[in-house]
Amino acid sequence: MWKTMKQDIDVVFDQDPAARSYFEVILTYAGLHAIWSHRFAHWFWKKKFFFLARFVSQISRFFTGIEIHPGATIGQRCFIDHGMGVVIGETCEIGNNVTLFQGVTLGGTGKEKGKRHPTLEDNTLVATGAKVLGSITIGENSKVGAGSVVLQNVPANSTVVGIPGKVVIQNGVKVPHDLEHHNMPDPVADKFKQMEKEMRSLQEQLEKLRSEKDGD
């Protein structure tokens, strides 16, 4: 248990440049408190003490603003940055070294039974305000851009942006865990640029035809 708690603290220093001391992190980081509370709630859930599990999770939600269902499975070194408004559903499965930012929802799409929430594999990052919905899988080393809505599986080593989320494969290269959300690809903007380029080409051809007609 102490080893796991030490890992939870260390990942804060790895991911957050604002972290200054162990004392500060232990006492003031709501994401860390939510993870620790979830570990207790999840233990009760596995022992079938469902009421106690939900009670602990709701107390944690009240103090941290982060709602994690006690049935969710969370791996080692999960980092929730800021965290306010984060929601993690009952059948979520989160791997190791996963980073979640504020406003992230890992939710379902309806009243279906069984596995109805996402699976996030190792080394994934879900940026601010993103929604990952349904029983889908976000492959390892992948990123979900800020404000995206993801409804389909994402292959490994990918970046997802937009509504609905569109995948940008990065040649199988591991996506690094940095905070530069603004540098992620924008397929919608790329499409507009392509259309603008084609329109400019058509205008040039039209001007050429007009010149040839005037010359005749």
pLDDT of the residue at 68: 92
Q: Is the pLDDT of residue 184 over 80?
A: no
Q: Which residue has the higher pLDDT, 169 or 201?
A: 201
Query: Do residues 42 and 70 touch, judged by C-beta distance below 8 A?
Result: yes
Q: Do residue 77 and residue 108 come from a single domain? A: yes
Do 157 and 202 lie in a common domain? no
pLDDT computed for residue 88 by the predictor: 93
The reported pTM is 0.72
Claim to verify: residue 102 and residue 209 sit in the same structural domain? no
Residue 112 pLDDT more than 90? no
CA distance 188 to 22: 43
- Per the structure, the count of domains in the chain is 2
Q: Read off the pLDDT of each residue in 115-119 and give the average, rounded to a whole number.
A: 90
Q: Are residues 34 and 56 in the same domain?
A: yes
User: What six digits make up the tokens of 118?
Assistant: 């996402």
Note whether 36 and 124 are same-domain residues.
yes
CATH code of residue 173:
2.160.10.10
Q: Which domain holds residue 199?
A: 186-216
